[in-house]
Amino acid sequence: MPRYQVVIKGGRVLDYESGLDAVRDVAIQDGKIVGVDGDYDPGDSPDAHVIDAAGQWVMPGVVDAHAHFAGPPDFGFDTAIGLVQLAAAGVTTAIDLGGQMDVLFDGVTRAGTGITVGSLMRIAPGQTVASETPDVGELTDVISAGLADGSLGAKMWGGYYPLTPEGTARVIQVCNELGAHVAFHVGTTESGSRLDGLREIPEILGSTGRLHIAHVNAYCRGSILPPEQEVAEALQILQSLRPQTVSEVHMAVPNFTRGACGSDGAVLNDVPRNCLRLRGYEVTIDGMRAAILDGYGSVVVRRGDRLELVTGKDGLAAFEARESDVPMSFPVNLPSTAFALTEARDDDGEFIVDAVASDGGVLPRNVNIEQTMAMVRFGALSPLEAVAKLSFNPAEMFGLNAKGRLTPGADGDVTIVDPVTGSATTTLAGGRVVLREGSVVGTGGTILVTAAGEGAARASGLEYAVLDVSRSKMYR
């Protein structure tokens, strides 16, 4: 009988791509899946072992298609926090939508948890580009340099650093021409980070553009229409954009934003302004203070190796200590909106929104598995559909064709979930244990880069994998 380095025995194996839903063993050798249809024994090497998964669900490793763990440094968060919190949440691959490669390389070197990570650079007027209307030449230089540094592409943060509609269209154009991933937190200088920002995308994208639309539920909070009407219109827009776009939703109620206010007391960014308006607070520093004291606004504070949401007097003290420029959170993401967008299907039964993602990492909102499992318990998703949302579809969004599946030759990335608690208990990345019975034990990690960034990845001394973004769902 063949013998293998890792054998996961007796779990309910769920693989969306093949449709497998059965109690099976999973065998892993040299970091790859080699079988899911036999009675396997471990090999004789010292690191060979058996994982008893009886009574648990065994699925492809969870891919978080929208996380934050690699900067920018002015956010004040150590990458180590994000890497630990992602691994603890059962994630085996995560993409930072707006990180910095120097921060990512340093964080994985110092405090890697064994997971696979990649990043998109951010496009920010006055920081990474000169103005709100960058031209094609500048964008080509900036994004090409980002790819050479190791980024997989670029993200526009419309709720914080909006470009003009013309500038936004040029970012998409340049990324598409360079074969780079491009994501958009919607909103331009002509719209907000709301439904009106989503309404702009068809014209910005044109008939050929390709785009990743971030956290669709963030634009359905009731800022313009009642939430259920915003969901209905968002779904119509997304369907009209297929197959040019991919998209995701996050499941946590708390959002993530910045409290920064100007010298005149005005709140600087669109997202926190929207949050204050939703509950009738003044869009000023005094309105922000009142929201914190009332328990509506929370300041994100580091305590030990974790981040916590702090409100009331303690939250206000933290807000004042940093002169308002603090990471903040408001409970504005509606579960009903996230659930409706996640389960929505077109007339052919295909999901309209591709994936569930956290928009977390460093933030205490890494609940992808728990909330998706809740939808399974309510009958809104089947177990295999949950795997599609958590693993297969997000892998396809980035062209991670060896991830998101449990078929021979795929990467040995596995997430084992307790169906009673709805949480991950054990994970493996590349056949190596990252999470064991709820404790993070992995070290190091693998960096995802494009061919343009291979030199930077090699110079880092870390393990890396070269990703061909042209094979992603967004470009196929």
Taken in order 177, 179, 180, 181, is the CA torsion positive or negative?
positive
Residue 73 has a pLDDT of 63
Strands 57-60 and 6-15: parallel
Instruction: Please name which of 456, 411, 453 lies closest in space to residue 434, comparing C-alpha atoms.
Output: 411
Reported as a pLDDT band with limits 50, 70 and 90, residue 50 is very high
For the chain, residues classed under CATH 2.30.40.10 are 3-59+407-450
For domain 61-253+333-397, the CATH superfamily is Metal-dependent hydrolases (3.20.20.140)
Query: Which pLDDT does position 74 carry in this prediction?
Result: 59
What b-and-e string marks burial along 6-43, b requiring 16 or more CB atoms within 10 Å of the CB? bbbbbbbbbbbbeebbeebbbbbbebbbbbbeeebbbb
Residues 6+ apart with CB under 8 A from 121: 98, 99, 100, 101, 128, 143, 146, 149, 151, 153, 154, 155
**Apex 248 CA angle, 183 and 26, nearest 5:** 115
What would the two tokens of residue 93 be?
């691959």
Q: For the CA atoms of 155, 463, 362, 189, what is the dihedral angle to 10 degrees?
A: -10
* Cβ partners under 8 Å of residue 3, min gap 6: 40, 41, 42, 43, 44, 48
CATH 3.20.20.140 residue ranges of the chain are 61-253+333-397
In this predicted structure, the answer to whether residue 1 has a pLDDT above a threshold of 90 is no
- pLDDT at 75 exceeding the cut of 90: no
Q: Which residue has the higher pLDDT, 375 or 306?
A: 375
Specify the DSSP element, H or E, that contains 310: strand 306-310
- 138 pLDDT tier (thresholds 50, 70, 90): very high
pLDDT for 476 equals 86
pLDDT of residue 38: 78
Q: Which of 159, 113, 140 is nearest to 332 (CA)?
A: 159
pLDDT tens across 219-277, in order? 999 999 999 999 999 999 999 999 999 999 999 999 889 899 999 999 999 999 999 99
Q: What is the pLDDT of residue 71?
A: 81
The answer to whether residues 163 and 134 touch, using CB atoms and an 8 Å cutoff, is yes
DSSP states of 238-268 as a string? HHHTTTTEEEEE---SS--EE--B-TTSBB-
Express each pLDDT in 352-366 by its tens digit.
999 999 999 988 789
Give the distance, in angstroms, between the CA of residue 340 and the centroid of all CA atoms in the same chain: 19
Scanning the structure block, which residue is given the tokens 């969870």? 62
Q: What's the whole-number mean pLDDT along residues 180-209?
A: 97
| Paired strand residues for 29 | 32
Q: What is the pLDDT of residues 159-175, one digit of tens each?
A: 899 999 999 999 999 99
Mean pLDDT of the chain: 95
Asked if 161 and 127 count as a contact pair (C-beta separation under 8 A), the reply is yes
| Span 121-137, pLDDT tens digits | 999 999 999 999 999 99
182-202 mean pLDDT: 97
Model confidence at 152: pLDDT above 70: yes
From first CA to last CA, the distance across the chain in angstroms is 41
Lowest model confidence (mean pLDDT) among 37-41, 116-120, 418-422: 37-41
CA torsion, points 357, 80, 421, 395, in degrees to nearest 10? 30
Secondary element (H or E) of residue 121:
strand 113-123
- Contact between 8 and 25 under an 8 Å Cβ cutoff? The reply is yes
CA distances from 156 to 69, 168, 445 (A): 17, 8, 26
Superfamily covering domain 3-59+407-450? Urease, subunit C, domain 1 (2.30.40.10)
* CA atoms within a 13 Å half-sphere pointing along the CA-CB vector of 287: 20
pLDDT at residue number 46: 65
What percent of the chain shows pLDDT beyond 70?
97
Kindly report the pTM of this predicted structure: 0.94
238-250 burial by CB neighbour count: b if 16+ within 10 A, else e? beebeebbbbbbb
Q: How far apart are CA 233 and CA 220, in angstroms?
A: 9
Does 47 score more than 70 pLDDT?
no
